[in-house]
Amino acid sequence: MAPTLTRAAPAAGETIDARLLAIAADHIRRFGRRRITVVGIAEEAGMSHANVYRYFPSKADLVDAVTTAWLRTLEADLADIAGAPDPADDKLERIVLGLARELREQAEAEPELFAAFTEAFEANRGVARKHRIRVRNLIDRVLEEGLSVGAFEASDKDRAIALVLDCMHRFLNPLSVRQDVAMPRGTLDQRLASAMRVVLRALANGLIR
């Protein structure tokens, strides 16, 4: 599921902003998000740093755009799950497990890129707020579907959404994911699966009041 943004040479039909994002992602990986410079990215792109600012007003905006590119690919995969012709409980489980595992994989394999997302999350910047809204909307969509066919029972859908997000907080909040990155994956996966079973049982048995 994880997208890749690294690409040193321009691809046919590649837009300038997409190339800048690819270079910026590569620089973040190689040098760390704090040490990258707009000048260095511009030099590799073969343009002036003033031209980079035409596309991204600041280095922070450029880093957030790299994070956005990753999240949009991830969110598109989750949206495909939500739109699939599968039972609602199965889709809810796949969305939560898929998101949790992708965050863990990004934290392990791309620590600097994940740190950029974590910082945006801590600062409540737009890229993080929009991600939370999109994930919530996908969960809302699947819960609505499950309620309409009787797979789920809940007197208040908002409380049902809150249950999912609260119980999955440890696995979906990037700050918690960062804290758990040293924990053996098998242990964390077991806890994630157990928490998911509790949520699905509560939704199926109408325990949300």
For residue 110, give both structure tokens: 């791309």
For residue 65, give both structure tokens: 């755009």
Looking at the structure of the chain, the number of domains it has is 1
Q: Alpha-carbon dihedral of residues 192, 98, 174, 118, nearest 10 degrees? A: 170
- Residue 78 inside a domain? The answer is yes
CA distances from 78 to 2, 67, 127, 151, 154 (A): 12, 17, 17, 20, 23
CA atoms within 13 Å, Cβ hemisphere of 18: 9
Output the pLDDT for position 80: 97
Output the pLDDT for position 13: 53
- Residue 60 inside a domain? The answer is no
- Residue 164 inside a domain? The answer is yes
Per DSSP, the chain holds a count of helices (H) and strands (E) of 11, 0
- Residue 146 inside a domain? The answer is yes
- Residue 55 inside a domain? The answer is no
Q: Evaluate if residue 138 carries a pLDDT over 80.
A: yes
CA distance 124 to 156: 27
- Residue 86 inside a domain? The answer is yes
Output the pLDDT for position 11: 52
b/e sequence 134-157, b meaning 16+ C-beta within 10 Å:
bbeebbbbbbebbbeeebbebeee
Largest CA distance in the chain: 61
Q: Evaluate if residue 12 carries a pLDDT over 90.
A: no
CATH number of the domain bearing residue 87: 1.10.357
Identity (one letter) of the amino acid at 203? Answer: L
Tens-place pLDDT, residues 139-168: 999 999 999 999 999 989 999 999 999 999
Tens-place pLDDT, residues 109-128: 999 999 999 999 999 999 99
Q: pTM score, two decimals?
A: 0.87
**Structural domain that includes position 123:** 66-204
Identity (one letter) of the amino acid at 172? Answer: L
- Residue 39 inside a domain? The answer is no
CA distance 100 to 107: 11
- Residue 197 inside a domain? The answer is yes
Return the H-helix or E-strand segment holding 72: helix 59-82
Q: Alpha-carbon dihedral of residues 51, 56, 62, 67, nearest 10 degrees? A: -130
Q: Evaluate if residue 2 carries a pLDDT over 90.
A: no
**Residues 62-72, mean pLDDT to the nearest whole number:** 94
